Amino acid sequence: MMTEVEQSMREKLGEATGLSFELAYESIGGEEPRDTDKIFGEEASDKIWAYVDGWRQDWIARNIEGRTSLKAMMEFDIAKEEKRIEKDIEFFKGLKEKLSGRDK
């Protein structure tokens, strides 16, 4: 059974993932990747591709499910991670605006 916090996080992860795909690829379907390093810089590109490749989601899921070390599990703060995802969503939205201005 999923808690409200887990459900909220799942929804936010879904939004962040969707935005990352929009930033990473020229079109829906993912056939033409953008040069995200060149367009947004290396740090932003790394964040985009961490979502696109599923690394961010996998890390969070492993921590929620307890499939990590005891130390990592004890240090994991689901509310803190949810806030981080919210910041990533806002960051991605800002990048989308930058991209929209660039494409005009």
Interval 33-89: pLDDT, tens: 999 999 999 999 999 999 999 999 999 999 988 899 999 989 999 999 999 999 999
Distance CA 31, CA 73 (A): 37
pTM score above 0.75: yes
Enumerate the domain spans of the chain: 4-103
Distance CA 59, CA 63 (A): 6
User: 25's torsion region: left (phi>0), alpha (psi -120 to 50) or beta?
Assistant: beta
Residues 57/21, Cβ–Cβ less than 8 Å: no
